[in-house]
Amino acid sequence: MLHFQRWKLILVFGIVVAGILFALPNMFPAATMARMPAWLPHKQVNLGLDLQGGAHLLYQLDEKEMVDDWLNTVRGDVRETLRRTHIGYTDLSQDVATRSVSVKIRDAAEMDKADTELKKLAQPVGGSVFAGFSGYDIDVARQGDDAVTLTLTDVGMTHRLGSAIQASIETIRRRVDAFGTTEPSIQREGRNRILVQVPGIQDVERLKTLIGKTGKLEFKLVDPSANAVQIAASKQVPPGDELVYG
């Protein structure tokens, strides 16, 4: 017959009781645990998707649209640079397939000046802390005697894609946090995808709608002749103006 010393029995009993107390919160809803005595453990285990269900969403960034938007910006920068430096040009165009913007210079004598000014549009792309400088986001090259082509580099694309993914993750996280859920998982998946896992959420369609909501940034001029305090008090907004609270 086995015989255990009393202190061992007390130790085993204490461990069992402690285990029951720490596991107790998982047997009741959060509302019930809120009414329990303060000395009891209240922290519950966050169940994953496999145990309590929820949302499992996978988003993919549209690289073609990103390239098109970037090329639009580069084309605008080329136009502004050549006008500012009084360099005549023609046939300013962009091509998503080759990720490039091309422009012809009217006067071949101004090619050196145009090449110098347009190369200022290329920005250095930093690598890791140890790698340092990785290259430029745009490659500026002459095409014959009267044209210049600005091409988005692979280094620039990788950097721009990473920045876009990170910005999207931060935006999605802010929107998911609005649901008040615990332990959402939002992380990059592969080259251009974002995996979103939200355990326990019931209204998945509302979550998808909120995440997919498009943000829009607007710039508006301030009317210096208007008194915002008086307008807010009278609720009479001048024609063409808009009262914005911030």
Written as one string, the DSSP assignment of 153-167 is -HHHHHHHHHHHHHH
pLDDT tens-digit profile of 115-138? 999 999 999 987 555 556 678 999
Q: Are residues 82 and 129 in the same domain?
A: yes
Q: Are residues 36 and 81 in the same domain?
A: no
217 by Cβ neighbours in 10 Å (0-12 / 13-18 / 19+) ranks as exposed
Q: Are residues 12 and 81 in the same domain?
A: no
Looking at 158, 176, 192, the residue that finishes a domain is 158
State the average pLDDT over residues 53-74: 88
Please give the pLDDT value at position 217.
Answer: 45
Q: Are residues 76 and 152 in the same domain?
A: yes
Q: Are residues 21 and 82 in the same domain?
A: no
Query: Is 80 within the bounds of a domain?
Result: yes
Residue 113 confidence (pLDDT) above 90: yes
Query: Is 245 within the bounds of a domain?
Result: no
State the average pLDDT over residues 49-55: 62
Looking at 124, 158, 192, the residue that finishes a domain is 158
> Which domain covers residue 122, as residue numbers?
63-158
In terms of Cα–Cα distance, which of 81, 106, 80, 103 is closest to 93? 103
Please give the pLDDT value at position 82.
Answer: 95
Please give the pLDDT value at position 29.
Answer: 63
Query: Is 211 within the bounds of a domain?
Result: no
Please give the pLDDT value at position 75.
Answer: 94
49's tokens: 């998707």
Looking at 96, 127, 158, the residue that finishes a domain is 158
Q: Are residues 70 and 19 in the same domain?
A: no
Query: Is 136 within the bounds of a domain?
Result: yes
Query: How does residue 140 score in pLDDT terms, banded at 50, 70 and 90?
Result: very high
pLDDT tens-digit profile of 185-225? 889 999 899 998 887 777 778 888 878 775 554 545 566 66
Are 44 and 26 in contact, with CB atoms under 8 Å apart?
yes
Specify the CATH number for the domain of residue 102: 3.30.1360
Higher-confidence residue of 74 and 229: namely: 74
Q: Are residues 141 and 95 in the same domain?
A: yes
Query: Is 184 within the bounds of a domain?
Result: no
Across all residues in the chain, what is the average pLDDT? 80
Please give the pLDDT value at position 147.
Answer: 95
Cα torsion 162, 165, 168, 173: sign: negative
Q: Are residues 41 and 68 in the same domain?
A: no
Q: Poorest-confidence range of 110-124, 128-142, 152-166?
A: 128-142
Report the domain count for the chain.
2
Q: Are residues 93 and 142 in the same domain?
A: yes
Please give the pLDDT value at position 13.
Answer: 78
- pTM (predicted TM-score): 0.62
State the average pLDDT over residues 36-48: 61
Q: Are residues 84 and 138 in the same domain?
A: yes
Q: Which residues pair with 117 in a beta bridge?
A: none
The set of residues, in sequence order, having a beta carbon less than 8 Å from that of 57 and lying 6+ positions away, is: 195, 196, 197, 207, 208, 211
Please give the pLDDT value at position 76.
Answer: 93
Percentage of the chain with pLDDT > 70? 74
Residue 175 confidence (pLDDT) above 90: no
Query: Is 226 within the bounds of a domain?
Result: no
Query: Is 177 within the bounds of a domain?
Result: no
Q: Are residues 67 and 154 in the same domain?
A: yes
Q: The tokens 């001029």 sit on which residue?
A: 221
Query: Is 168 within the bounds of a domain?
Result: no
Phi, psi of 31 (to 5 degrees): -65, -40
Q: Are residues 25 and 107 in the same domain?
A: no
